[in-house]
Amino acid sequence: MIDPHVHCRDGKQTYKETIRHVFEIANKQCVEKIFDMPNTNPPILYEKDIKERLKLVPENQKGNYFLYIGATSNKKQLEEAVRCYDKYKEIVGIKLYAGKSIGNLALINEKAQKKFYQILSNLGYKGVLAVHCEKEIYLKPELFDPAIPITHSYARPKEAEIESLKDQIKFSEESNFKGNLHIVHVSCPESIKLIDKERKEMRITCGVTPHHILWSNEMLNRPDGLLYKMNPPLRDEKDVETLRQYLKDGRIDWIETDHAPHAIGEKLFTPFLSGYPSLYLKDFVSKFLPDIGVDKKLIEKLTFENIYKIFENKLK
Ligand SMILES: [Zn+2]
């Protein structure tokens, strides 16, 4: 299997997770290749960051480690990002945080995002643009009360994801973006509907995490509920049911774990970080998915074939 969305941390966050350790657990989970995300500390934005990052890859895993380069609205940085995409086989695409999640790597306002798409289109970029969709003006951080963890899902409502997704589609169309727009960790059925509507018009794909398929936000009501705090948050029972159905219907392109470990104290106490160590694909794929009626052929597509198709130029 390929896991096209992990956070290996390393650098100043080595105490949370490392590339070496992710490969150890990935291999036990039958995952061969991983795509790392650039919201590290320091973030991956320039060629020098890529070079440093690649030094951390264990010798026996070269060829299995891939990563996204981060995006800013700075023209020079984006030129370098596109150049690195062309130059390094390991760079699978550009990642845009259209809302702040973990780290400071984000382009939160519409004007900056619009400019970003325009620059990328002018540069003739045709690779994958992976976007974390959560629109800041719809977030209500004041609603989060750590004593009642489920308030996290009210603080980051699904409207934030849906409205951000609409923005990405609009900016992508307006700028005549020729790349593949990939919406990461889709958390609600409304997003899938919007994406399906665009599939004929543009190159667009979406991924879902195991946790958004497995659990509703009821998990946040458990005594250890803070552990289930992630961005975007877990949604209600009805949304989970519908997401499962859409997965079975083949309306989701792939599974991406969004494996994002923190130290347990950072989750249970201030700053109550979002993220879940979710690289447990083996049981999810061999037991849970067949149990809810996803057939073997579709599982192969969700964990390998569909991913391979989009990233073939990098993976072959
Ligand atoms: Zn992520």
Contacts of 199 (CB under 8 A, 6+ apart): none
DSSP conformation class of 305: I
CA of 126 from ligand 1 middle (Å) equals: 22
95 touches 66 (CB < 8 A): no
Q: Per CATH, which fold does 2-315 belong to?
A: TIM Barrel (3.20.20)
Average pLDDT estimate for 302-314: 98
**What is the model's pLDDT at position 152?**
98
Q: Residue 302 above 90 pLDDT? A: yes
Tens-place pLDDT, residues 237-274: 999 999 999 999 999 999 999 999 999 999 999 999 99
CA of 101 from ligand 1 middle (Å) equals: 8
**What is the model's pLDDT at position 20?**
97
CA of 250 from ligand 1 middle (Å) equals: 22
Q: Residue 100 above 90 pLDDT? A: no
Tokens of 102: 């973990």
Q: What's the chain's average pLDDT?
A: 96
Task: With cut-offs at 50, 70 and 90, classify the pLDDT of residue 106.
Answer: confident
Contacts of 123 (CB under 8 A, 6+ apart): 78, 79, 82
Q: Residue 86 above 90 pLDDT? A: yes
Percent of the chain at pLDDT > 70 equals 100
CA of 276 from ligand 1 middle (Å) equals: 10
Low-confidence winner among 28-37, 97-106, 182-191 (lowest mean pLDDT): 97-106
CA of 111 from ligand 1 middle (Å) equals: 23
Q: Residue 31 above 90 pLDDT? A: yes
CA of 160 from ligand 1 middle (Å) equals: 16
Domain regions of the chain by residue span = 2-315
CA of 176 from ligand 1 middle (Å) equals: 26
Q: Nearest 5°: phi and psi at 16? A: -85, -45
What burial letters (b/e) apply to 19-35, b meaning 16+ CB within 10 Å? beebbebbeebebebbb
**What is the model's pLDDT at position 296?**
96
The Cα-based distances of 276 to 181, 225, 252, 299 in angstroms read 25, 12, 21, 22
Cα 41 from chain centroid (whole Å)? 17
CA of 3 from ligand 1 middle (Å) equals: 12
**What is the model's pLDDT at position 216?**
98
CA of 79 from ligand 1 middle (Å) equals: 24
CA of 121 from ligand 1 middle (Å) equals: 24
CA of 161 from ligand 1 middle (Å) equals: 14
**What is the model's pLDDT at position 73?**
86
Task: With cut-offs at 50, 70 and 90, classify the pLDDT of residue 171.
Answer: very high
Tens-place pLDDT, residues 35-63: 999 999 999 999 999 999 999 999 999 99
What burial letters (b/e) apply to 173-206, b meaning 16+ CB within 10 Å? eebebebbbbbbbbbbbbbbebbeebeeebbbbb
**What is the model's pLDDT at position 288?**
97
CA of 267 from ligand 1 middle (Å) equals: 16
CA of 142 from ligand 1 middle (Å) equals: 23
Ion ligand 1: protein residues whose beta carbon lies under 5 Å: 258
Q: Residue 202 above 80 pLDDT? A: yes
CA of 7 from ligand 1 middle (Å) equals: 6
Task: With cut-offs at 50, 70 and 90, classify the pLDDT of residue 105.
Answer: confident
CA of 258 from ligand 1 middle (Å) equals: 5
